[in-house]
């Protein structure tokens, strides 16, 4: 999931709401567009969860591999991910 892609899609939904709001009941519009944003969020969250699970499976497969090179690559990937997380949080 990309924050930029989610932002762009949310903006598109909100601009569409602004363009369609002339003469419409605001409560119905807000409900409809809140449902669209919720659906967008659910789709992006589902995609992110799938990416995380696929990455975890790949890393676990690499760690359990009998090949020492594959195990070494998995260790480097984990170290880099931990480093990235520590930089991202601060």
Q: Give the HSE-up count for residue 63: Cα atoms under 13 Å, Cβ half-sphere.
A: 10
pTM of the predicted protein model: 0.54
pLDDT tens digits for 70-85?
A: 777 777 777 777 777 7
Q: Which residues of the chain have pLDDT under 70?
A: 1-2, 88-90
Structure tokens at 22: 């002339």
Burial class (CB in 10 A: 0-12, 13-18, 19+), 61: exposed
Mean pLDDT (the chain) is 79
């Amino acid at each position: 999931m990309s924050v930029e892609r989610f932002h762009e899609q949310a903006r598109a939904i909100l601009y569409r709401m602004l363009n369609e709001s002339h003469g419409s009941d605001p409560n119905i519009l807000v409900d409809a567009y809140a449902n669209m944003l919720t659906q967008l969020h659910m789709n992006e969250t589902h995609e992110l969860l799938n990416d995380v699970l696929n990455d975890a499976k790949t890393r676990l497969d690499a760690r359990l591999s009998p090949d020492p090179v594959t195990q070494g690559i998995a260790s480097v990937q984990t170290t880099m991910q931990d480093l990235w997380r520590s930089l991202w949080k601060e």
